[in-house]
A and B are shown apart, each in its own frame.
Chain A
Amino acid sequence: MSEPGRLQAAVAAGVVGSDEAYRALLQSIVEVARAIFGARASSIFLLDETTDELVFEAVAGEGADTLIGTRIPSSTGIAGWVLVTRQPLVLEDVTQDPRFARDVAERTGYVPQGLMSVPLLHEERALGVLNVLDRPQQARFTLEEMDLLGMFANQAAIALDLLQRARRARALVDHNASGDTAAVARLAETIETLEDERRAAGVRLVQALDDILRGA
């Protein structure tokens, strides 16, 4: 990234919000998805492109305490198929697949009966997968639910995209912690946290600095 690009990213890293804020957004999405579908659990996988793995980024319901951060290879299992083929999939009675049941039990300790899995697509990229597990079996699945799932997936994809941008900007600053970009990021971050007169004074100072540097 060019020097101006890095400085802009640094300023962004200072003000765009923390990793925790985006995680909270993802968490809220899986909580709502779980509630709307009346499901036992819902989760979001993020694709880590550097290791080609899917990472549990948010979990509601079963597994919420233990699964965050757990990794699986990106091309295995149902989530892998959904990610790679960009096609949503709804399966019921997955326990009929003994290998699936064993794999999932070893990873998560919880074997769902039914599974709705949808890719999280943003522009050209597949960022991850949204899963909704064990919706009530008595209800026949409908295409309306598939559309609803697609809408949730769209929302989750936007949140994941923001999270990844924030992480990239943060990584850039951390990578250069003693350098100029970090100083700019800290300055932006500090001004963001100030209130009232101190904030106004800070902004005036930065504006004055801007005038001097631009030769105005």
Chain B
Amino acid sequence: MSADPQRGPLPAWSLPAGETDRIRIATQWPEEVTREWAWGGATGAGVRVCVLDSGVEADHPLVGGLAGAKVISLSPEGEVVVADDSEGDVVGHGTACAGIIRGLAPKVELWSVRVLGAGATGSGPVLMEGLRWAVDQGFDVVNMSLSTTKSQFAGVLHELADSAYFRRTLLVASAHNMPVESYPWRFSSVISVGSHEEEDPFTFYYNPEPPVEFFARGVNLDVAWRGGGRIRATGNSFATPHMAGICALVLSTHRELIPFQLKSVLYLTATNVGGDR
């Protein structure tokens, strides 16, 4: 039975007999998924990556320019304001993340969304609205080297993470190494990242004991910092942009991948799975 031409095609939550052509899959997966197939020769070209952080210093040599920068704040009445950001980076941290992504995927289109500066008490809503804005823009990858412990935001963050997942926006979020509940890294719709101690930026491990799903380079890194400088740094927040950069490479090679397929590619190419092939 085909769709009634008077009504247009049926919504995609059912599959009538004879309609399987409608859901034909473009990607031809090889018998063995290798890193060469996944991102061999890729530069990240055509992929839009957003760094949700402390801002990014656009003219830092390791960042190499931004396509755009926004700042999220709260008005005195508590309204969310999204404005162009000319402050650069108020800490240095966002610049470090952007520099790591650029180093792995030199041709990505980088964006900055600054969610810092509203004070600690306004941090929850600002973080959430920053993510909402990023999801609305349809970025391919959003790097979130941050989290919140406030359960009042967990529900909305969960919904945002799910809508990002179905809209092909991949959220890559830092896991927590302390005994508290925090979000959004615990959601299965995001890629959660912890640290390993090795030096190769392309070494990453799949963790068979979730909720942390991947470990990437996060210890003793030479990273970009505020004022055109560099700093040696450690933290899961630097492992996260490594996975974000690798995701950008895969997406620039295979544009059609949706988040769960991309996560499968990451699994199959992880250093402890098939990454040495």
Interface residues of A (CB under 8 A from B): 47, 49, 52, 73-78, 80-81, 83-94, 96-100, 118-119, 121, 123-126, 140-143, 146-147, 150, 153-154
Contact = CB atoms under 8 A, between A and B. Distances in A.
Interface of B is mostly: loop
6 contacts: A75-B120, A80-B120, A85-B116, A86-B148, A91-B231, A140-B220
A123 B179 CA distance: 9
A142 to B, nearest CB: 7
Given A75-B123, A124-B149, A88 B233 contact: no
Interface of A is mostly: mixed
A84 B178 contact: no
B146 interface: yes
Contact of A87 (B119, B230, B236): B236
A88 B149 CA distance: 14
Contacts of A85: 116, 145-147, 237
Given A75-B116, A141-B219, A126 B149 contact: yes
Contacts of B54: 81
A141 to B, nearest CB: 5
Contacts of A78: 91-93
B253 interface: no
Contacts of B186: none
The 9 closest A-B pairs by CB, nearest first: A85-B146, A74-B120, A90-B234, A92-B232, A52-B119, A96-B229, A84-B123, A81-B91, A121-B180
Interface string B173-189: 01011111110000000
Contacts of B139: none
B182 to A, nearest CB: 6
B120 A87 contact: no
A52 B120 contact: yes
Interface residues of B, number: 45
A49 B121 contact: yes
Q: Among B92, B174, B237, which residue has the most Cβ atoms of chain A within 10 A?
A: B92
A143 B121 contact: no
A90 B220 CA distance: 9
Given A47-B120, A84-B120, A96-B225, A89 B233 contact: yes
Given A97-B231, A126-B120, A126-B149, A142 B197 contact: yes
A92 B237 contact: no
B197 A77 contact: no
Contact of A141 (B90, B91, B127, B220): B220
Nearest to B54: A81
Given A96-B230, A97-B225, A150-B178, A87 B145 contact: yes
A91 to B, nearest CB: 5
Contacts of B174: 87
Contacts of A88: 177-178, 235-236
Given A52-B121, A75-B119, A84-B123, A94 B231 contact: yes
A143 B220 CA distance: 10
